[in-house]
Amino acid sequence: MADNNNSSAVLEAEETSASYTSETNAGAGTGTSAIEPGYGTGRRKEAVARVRLIPGSGKWSINGHTLEEYFPSKLHQREVNSPIVLLKLENKFDVVVRVEGGGVTGQAGAVRLGVARALNAIDRDANRPALKKAGFLTRDARVVERKKAGLHKARRAPQFSKR
């Protein structure tokens, strides 16, 4: 009898664990967001991006260039497009970006934050929970540490010579 109860408990545990998935994007966005113009500003390190979302066909314009021209790296292209993909809103918005300062990675991070903030401003009720959970609405506050007096860099001390 005890053996029968134990096997049913194992079956119940297997059934409940089968409902979870390793997919990070599963059911994150329903694609039911309002389709209307929106604006967001993103910053990362020294880069500042001003992002406008306009209802359209999914075209990107970054400083007058296409997404592939401005960010040739597939990693950066995926990063800036990730909030739109998360919410399943591909080909619903044209994205117009003005970005300045910093390097390529900082600019990509700034554009991602700007896109996420613009999507959040468009439809806060539908978009905010998924964007917040994915961490797209959080500003990455890490910046370069300043150089200190008597050191070569922020922490690099002069080489010690015993004699």
CA distance 113 to 135: 10
Phi/psi of residue 117, nearest 5 degrees: -65, -35
Q: 116: which 2 tokens?
A: 């996420």
Whose CA is closest to 97, among 63, 135, 127? 63
pLDDT of residue 132: 94
Place of tokens 């468009």: 122
pLDDT at 157: 96
pLDDT tops 80 at residue 22: no
pLDDT 10s digits, 103-134:
999 999 999 999 999 999 998 888 999 999 99
Rounded CA-CA distance 69/87 in Å is: 25
Backbone angles phi, psi at 38, to 5 degrees: -150, 160
> What pLDDT shows up at residue 61?
96
* 87: confidence class by pLDDT, cuts 50, 70, 90: very high
Q: Which CATH number fits domain 38-134: 3.40.640.10, 3.30.465.10, 3.30.230.10, 3.90.650.10?
A: 3.30.230.10
For residue 21, pLDDT beyond 60 = no
Q: What are phi and psi of 16, to 5 degrees?
A: -70, -35
Which residues have a Cβ under 8 Å from the Cβ of 27 and sit 6 or more positions away?
Answer: none
Residue 82's nearest CA partner among 41, 32, 29 is 29
Average pLDDT over residues 14-43: 67
